[in-house]
Amino acid sequence: MTSGETSTIKTISVVIPVYSGASTLGPLLAEIEPLTTQVATPRGVSFRVVEVILVDDGGTDGSDGVIASLASRLPFVRAVWLSRNYGQHAATLAGMASSAGDWVVTLDEDGEHDPQDIARLLDIAVDTGSQLVYARPTNAPGHGVVRNSFSAMTKWIFRNMLGHAHMGEFHSFRLIEGEIARGLAAYCGHGVYLDVALSWIVAWAAGCPVVLRTAGGRPSSYSFSKLARHFWHLVLSSGTAPLRFVAALGIASIVLGVLVSAFVIWRKLSGSLAVPGWASLLIMLSLFSGLILFSLGVLAEYMAVTVRMALGKPLYMITSHPSRGGPRAP
């Protein structure tokens, strides 16, 4: 860390999507308020929270009234009103598009994320040069074994099967460079998973160990069916990996069909096949099923171009400073 990096005060915009935060927003904002004056991180980086953007996502618990009251009473609070419930990721993108800070922090409304950890996330970003830092919980969230297991499985698939290993384990508590956050919010298409969109433009993501707190004493608003839809959106918006799997499956089927056909022909010539027509039928099924799958794979590649356009994946993004492809050498 250079002296130039520590001499400039970093400005931070905090974005909080709100659906059922009537009872938790007040205490959470009280914790954030001391950070609105200039403070320093444990490693000496000066920063200040210049705004807290509360995005009303059409909740039914009176959150809108709480947001309006906080915005009128606290000068650093800004309200963003959505016309209806669009979901957490869309609400987060709306808040990011409305931000103005050097860095953008996304927090949940339920108080599970400790605002004091913002300083530690900022230290990691400055030390490593990363444009994105995820909180990495050292304890399990208080959502029950089933939901925690489902979440862990989803993150494993995201990293290891959908081509996003460079992002590590994503989390809704994030620190994002401001121009990256606003640029992403400008083009991100409908239904795109936020962390997938971040993986398109961030070379790698750093992680910061944090301890999660009790989530405001209220149950989660995510049912199993909502979590399943959430997972499906992750798969569909992850890019072309599922489509290319179809093409690979087609090629594998053709190879298997050729091998099966060679075996059947050998059995036929050796007189081991007694059923008339069985050999030719099996050869046709093996080869043509492979050709059909391969043809679907070719069509999937053409579809992939359309998918990238529909999802809003950018050809490039310009930033104000060089990016780094990995952590700095120690």
The residues spanned by each domain of the chain are 3-236, 241-311
State the average pLDDT over residues 20-37: 95
Q: Assign 264 a pLDDT band (cuts: 50, 70, 90).
A: confident
pLDDT value of position 322: 65
State the average pLDDT over residues 115-122: 97
Q: Assign 100 a pLDDT band (cuts: 50, 70, 90).
A: very high
pLDDT value of position 248: 72
Cβ–Cβ under 8 Å, residues 133 and 224 = no
CATH fold for domain 3-236: Spore Coat Polysaccharide Biosynthesis Protein SpsA; Chain A (3.90.550)
Q: Which of 100-109, 213-222, 282-291, 292-301 has the lowest mean pLDDT?
A: 213-222
SS3 76: coil
Query: Over 80: is that where the pLDDT of 230 sits?
Result: no
Query: Over 60: is that where the pLDDT of 195 sits?
Result: yes
Average per-residue pLDDT in the chain?
Answer: 79
pLDDT value of position 284: 74
SS3 136: strand
Element (H, E) at 17: strand 10-18
pLDDT value of position 17: 95
Query: Over 70: is that where the pLDDT of 75 sits?
Result: yes
Query: Is the entire prediction scored with pTM above 0.85?
Result: no
State the average pLDDT over residues 95-105: 95
Cβ–Cβ under 8 Å, residues 107 and 18 = no
* 14 bridge partner residues: 52, 105
Among the listed residues 224, 143, 157, the one whose alpha carbon sits nearest the alpha carbon of residue 195: 157
* Residue 250 in tokens: 């087609």
